[in-house]
Amino acid sequence: MFSVILVEDEDIIRKGIRYALPWEDHGCTVVGEARNGVDGKQLIQALNPDIVITDINMPVMDGLQMIAETKYQYDYVAILLTGYSDFEYAKEAIRNGVSDYILKPLNHEEMMEALDRAVLECKNIRILRKQNKSVSELKDITLFSDNKLENPEDPVVAQILDFIGQNYTQKITLSELSEKLFYSDRYINQRFQKALGTTVIEYLNRYRIQKALSLLQENRLPISEIGGACGIGDYKYFSHVFKKYVGCSPKEYKLKIR
C-alpha cells in the first residue's frame, strides 16, 4: 500500500476527498491530514509518505512552500489542488517537481486519474530502484524495459516519442504537445499511458536521466553541466530526479562507476 497525506484548509473538501475516494482499490491508504502547510510539513517529516495531495492557498504556509521545504528530502509524489486563479502557479510547480495538478471544483474522475498516475509513478520508482541496486550493474542501468518503445503501435505515441527524442534538451510541456498533435493534454496522456503503461512526463524524465547516465559514463562534461545538457537545467532539481530513478546522486554514481 502507498501512504497518502491530505493537506487542505477547507475541512469539507479535505474530508470529501478522504471519504469519497476508494483508496484501497487503488493500493493507497490515507495516513494523515493537515489544515495548513506548517502542519503538513510536520506530517511529512513524521510519516514520510509516498503521495502528498495539497491545496496551494492555505494559511500559515501555502502548499508550494511546503513542497519546496520537504520534497527534495522526502521524495514523495506531489499532487496540487488549485483554482483557475492559481493556474500559472500550478504549471510552474510542475516544472519544479510537482507531478500533477487538479483544478477546483474537484472532479471525481480527474481525482481518480491523478491518483492512478501517482501510484504508477510510485510503482515505477520502486521497481527501478530494485533493478538498479547492484553496483556491479551500474553501467548497464536501463530505465526502459518495454519493447513497445521501439515500435509503438499507436501513431500518436510514436509521434510523441519522436518529438521527445529530438527535443529532450529543450523545455517540453504537455501544452506544447497538445498544440503540435491537436489533441488535449489529457487525451494525449491517456493514449500514452494505455500504450506504454506510463505518463508522458514520467517517460520524459526517464529519457533525460538515461541520457545523463551516458554522459556521466563518458566523463566529458562536469556534473554541473550534465543536467542542462539533458534538458534539466537546475542542478538541484537534476540531482533530485536522478536520485529518484537511480537511487544515488549524480556525484555518487560517478564515484561508483570509477
End-of-domain residue from the set 125, 142, 170: 125
User: pTM of the prediction?
Assistant: 0.60
Give me the pLDDT at residue 132, please. 61
Q: What residue numbers bound the domain in which 71 lies?
A: 2-125
Give me the pLDDT at residue 128, please. 74
Give me the pLDDT at residue 71, please. 86
> Are 115 and 142 within one domain?
no
> Are 150 and 248 within one domain?
yes
Q: What is the CA radius of gyration of the chain?
A: 18
Q: CA 117 to CA 122: how far, in whole Å?
A: 9
Give me the pLDDT at residue 151, please. 67
Give me the pLDDT at residue 133, please. 59
End-of-domain residue from the set 125, 158, 187: 125
Give me the pLDDT at residue 55, please. 93
How would DSSP label each residue in 108-173? Answer: HHHHHHHHHHHHHHHHHHHHHHHHT--GGGGGG--S---GGGTS-S-HHHHHHHHHHHHHTTS---
> Are 85 and 149 within one domain?
no
Which cell numbers in the block locate residue 186? 489529457
End-of-domain residue from the set 81, 108, 125: 125
Q: CA 184 to CA 176: how far, in whole Å?
A: 10
- Total domains present in the chain: 2
Give me the pLDDT at residue 185, please. 85
> Are 13 and 120 within one domain?
yes
Kindly give, in sequence order, each residue whose CB lies less than 8 Å from that of residue 230, ignoring residues fewer than 6 positions away. 168, 169, 208, 209, 211, 212, 215, 238
pLDDT tens digits, the chain, 258 residues: what are they?
A: 999 999 999 999 999 999 999 999 999 999 999 999 999 999 999 999 999 999 988 999 999 899 989 988 888 999 999 876 666 666 666 655 788 888 888 999 999 999 999 999 898 878 777 766 555 577 778 887 655 566 678 899 999 999 999 999 998 888 888 888 898 888 998 899 888 888 898 899 999 999 999 999 998 899 999 999 999 988 888 998 998 888 889 998 988 877
Q: CA 103 to CA 121: how far, in whole Å?
A: 20
> Are 121 and 177 within one domain?
no
> Are 87 and 14 within one domain?
yes
> Are 38 and 112 within one domain?
yes
Average pLDDT of every residue of the chain: 87
> Are 117 and 175 within one domain?
no
CATH number at residue 6: 3.40.50.2300
> Are 83 and 29 within one domain?
yes
CATH number at residue 180: 1.10.10.60
> Are 62 and 172 within one domain?
no
Kindly give, in sequence order, each residue whose CB lies less than 8 Å from that of residue 136, ignoring residues fewer than 6 positions away. none
Contact call for residues 53 and 13 (beta carbons, < 8 A): no
Cα distances from 251 to residues 59, 214, 238, in angstroms, run 38, 14, 11
> Are 137 and 120 within one domain?
no
> Are 11 and 95 within one domain?
yes
